[in-house]
Structure formats: C-alpha cells, structure tokens
Amino acid sequence: MRKIEVFDTTLRDGEQSPGVNLNLEEKLEIARQLARLGVNIIEAGFAASSKGDFESVQRIANEIRGVTVCSLSRSVKFDIEQSYEALKGADNPRIHVFLATSPIHMQHKLRMTPEQVLEQIDSAVRLAKGFVSDVEFSAEDGGRSDLDFLVKVAEVAAKAGATVLNIPDTVGYLTPSEYAHIFRYVRENAKGADKIKLSAHCHDDLGMATANTLAAIAAGIDQIEGTINGIGERAGNVAIEEVALALYTRPQFYQAATGLELAEIARTSRMVSKLTGMVVQPNKAIIGANAFAHESGIHQDGVLKEKSTYEIIRPEIVGMGDSKLVLGKLSGRHAFKDHLVSLGYELEGDALNTAFRKFKDLCDRKKYVTDEDILALLNDVETDT
C-alpha cells in the first residue's frame, strides 16, 4: 500500500469559513485532537495575517509533538520571516509559500507577468529554505493554470529547494480526469519533479472535491490537503474523513492508505463542529447523524439479518458507535420487535401484532416516535390484553 500523507488545514483554510473564528485555546484543543487522529501535517495558521494567528501557530508549534507544523505565507519576505519566527519551536517546521499561477490571477489580481511570477517563486522558496528544510510551494489556482507554465513552476520550485509542490483546485472548478491529468503531466514533464512530493488541495464548489482528490491519488500524488467535516472557504475544502474512508473501503482500487487512526474520526468531527459552530448536515458521508441510520423496513430487515446488505462501512470503525434503526412509518415488524427487546420487552404473537399496529397508527400521527411513546403504547397493549 502506498502511504498518502495527510495535511490538515482545518485551522487555516477551515477557519476561512465565513463566520468561523477560533480562539487560541480552541485551536490548541483541535490541534491536540488532530495529532491523536494521526494527521502528518497541521497547518496551524497564517502567522503573518494577525497577532492572534501568530500566537496560535507558535503555541501549536511549541506544544504539539510528533507532527509537522506548518504556517502559510504569501511569497513575500515579511510573511516568510513571521512563519519562521512562529514555527521555531516545532519538532518539524514547514513553511508553506504560495503564489497564483493562473492567467486570471496573474493578470487581474497580481498584475504580474508569468516571468515575474517565476522569479518571485524562486526567491520566496529560497528564502524559506534558508530558514527550514521543509518548504511547500502552492501554485494558487493551479487548476486553471496553463499546463506548460505549471511545468515551469514545478521546475523552479524544485530547483529552489521546495520539498512539496501543491497544485490546488482553488476554486473547485475541475473534474476528476482533468485534475489527474495535471499531476501526470507535471510529473512526466518537469525536470526535478521526481524529487518533490506532489500534493492535492481541492475545494468543493461543484461538489467534486472528494472525487478530485481521489483521482489525484490514483494519478500518484503523495499528499492530500483537506479539513475535518470539509469546512473551508465558500463550499469548503475536501473532507479528510471522506478521502480516508474511500481509501480504506476500496483498498484494491486505490492501493493507497492514510495512516489515520480512523476510530478518532467521529470525536474529531464533533469537536470541530462544536468549536466552529458549523453544524454537520445529517446526511453527510461518514460523520453525519444519518450516515449509519436505516429507515425503511426493507433495509432494516436486511441489516438485522446481515449488516453488509446496506452498510459498506461499520460505524465503529470511525468511532460512530453502532448503526441505528430509525423507527418510523416505514419500519417493519422485524425492526420493531428487535427494538422492543432493546427496551426490555419480548413480545410474540397477538401482543406483538397489536403493539405493531398501534405503533404504525402513531407513526401516521406523529413525526418523531420516541422510546417514551413506545413504552406508553406497550402499557396500552398490556391493559388491552
């Protein structure tokens, strides 16, 4: 199995979610949990962006051991120096510099020529490399950059000493085959690209972040970047838990794995949701409240006979407890009887039939049938019989 490194940017790109603002203690709490989850790199913040970010990068760098701690920097001296200052105490510090490489960004945002962009990449990576041995360069809006220009970017970054080249789909625009093609093209055509790790960083504007990240993995990249619960700018970043579970569930297909402690996923997800205030949608893959809940009678009957009929992942693998059979108007007698047993009642024959009929009547009147409702209904059955 090829090992895929996990670069978590919940505390940087994730915090860029509108309305999210984590304080220092909250960031530390998340960073400790990310270390327990086993991510390889924690992007702790953007040290030059504010005093608060500087302090959180510094505290995380000083306290979290055994992982690479990273700080984002624009490709300018001030940012790179600030990142280095904040990261000094880390076991393994990484400075992450970025500059946009797409025609749209170079022309309208940077107002720079492609040659100027290449020169700035060269000097920024060299400057960072003077401070730390591990330097990542990100070609912002790489997804909409010219392929041959990306090859030049890769060559310049590699020659200047970058250890990782990230090609982000900054605006979530690409399809999986396009994204995979970019990585193959750069790997095959850029001199020195074999000595540099390639990284994927996907945004979810078209809902394709997970598919795009997996396509990049299939194309041979070494590192994925994402956030817990997929939080991040606009529609968010790729959800790390989705990529990790896709690799775990389809090992033959991808021949690649993260080293994550999968059982820590649910705890990490709940913590990030609570501290950011970003509620996880109930039907969210892997960590949504409904991800392992079965509502229809046919599905419930199948799951009671053999879980794999309707579950491709066991919920305990990701720390989500056991699967849930939701009792509602679609539930069958099998699930109902089973639920009664969990409440301490073993009903058979007429008593079971009466209780089941009353339960179905109640489901037509009430949206949520609780255990208290069922216990009250069993009382009625006992008095009736």
Residues annotated within the binding site for Mn(2+) are 13, 201, 203, 237
Distance CA 201, CA 203 (A): 7
Radius of gyration of the chain (CA): 25
Quick one: what does residue 98 bind among Zn ion, ligand KIV, none, with the CB cut-off 5 to 8 Å set by partner type? ligand KIV
Quick one: what does residue 45 bind among ligand KIV, Zn ion, none, with the CB cut-off 5 to 8 Å set by partner type? none
Q: Minimum distance from CB of 342 to ligand KIV (Å)?
A: 46
Give the list of residues 6+ apart from residue 152 with CB closer than 8 angstroms, or none: 114, 118, 190
> Which residue intervals of 329-370 are DSSP H helices?
333-342, 349-365
| DSSP-derived 3-state class of residue 135 | strand
| DSSP-derived 3-state class of residue 285 | coil
Identity of the residue, 17 or 170, whose beta carbon is nearer to ligand KIV in the bound complex: 170
Pairing of strands 5-8, 68-74: unpaired
The answer to whether 200 touches 256, Cβ cutoff 8 Å, is no
Q: Minimum distance from CB of 244 to ligand KIV (Å)?
A: 20
Q: Out of 94, 152, 187, 201, which residue is the one contacting ligand KIV (CB under 6 A)?
A: 201
The site for ligand KIV, by CB under 6 A, has a size of 9
Quick one: what does residue 138 bind among Zn ion, ligand KIV, none, with the CB cut-off 5 to 8 Å set by partner type? ligand KIV
Identity of the residue, 13 or 141, whose beta carbon is nearer to Zn ion in the bound complex: 13
Distance CA 259, CA 262 (A): 9
Q: Out of 5, 8, 13, 79, which residue is the one contacting ligand KIV (CB under 6 A)?
A: 13
Interface positions with Zn ion (CB under 5 A):
13
284: contact with ligand KIV by CB under 6 A? no
The answer to whether 106 touches 113, Cβ cutoff 8 Å, is yes
168: contact with ligand KIV by CB under 6 A? yes
The answer to whether 287 touches 269, Cβ cutoff 8 Å, is yes
Identity of the residue, 225 or 264, whose beta carbon is nearer to ligand KIV in the bound complex: 225
In the chain, the amino acid numbered 113 is T
Lookup result for tokens 């940077």:
110
Q: Out of 68, 138, 145, 258, which residue is the one contacting ligand KIV (CB under 6 A)?
A: 138
| DSSP-derived 3-state class of residue 122 | helix
In the region spanning residues 87 to 106, those forming contacts with ligand KIV, defined by CB under 6 A, are 98
Distance CA 287, CA 280 (A): 8
Identity of the residue, 125 or 318, whose beta carbon is nearer to ligand KIV in the bound complex: 125
Stretch that binds ligand KIV, among 83-91, 153-161, 163-171, 367-375 (CB under 6 A): 163-171
Q: Minimum distance from CB of 10 to Zn ion (Å)?
A: 12
Tokens in use for 72? 């984002």
Identity of the residue, 56 or 170, whose beta carbon is nearer to ligand KIV in the bound complex: 170
Identity of the residue, 53 or 264, whose beta carbon is nearer to ligand KIV in the bound complex: 53
The answer to whether 170 touches 209, Cβ cutoff 8 Å, is no
Residues that bind ligand KIV (CB under 6 A): 13, 98, 138, 140, 166, 168, 170, 201, 203
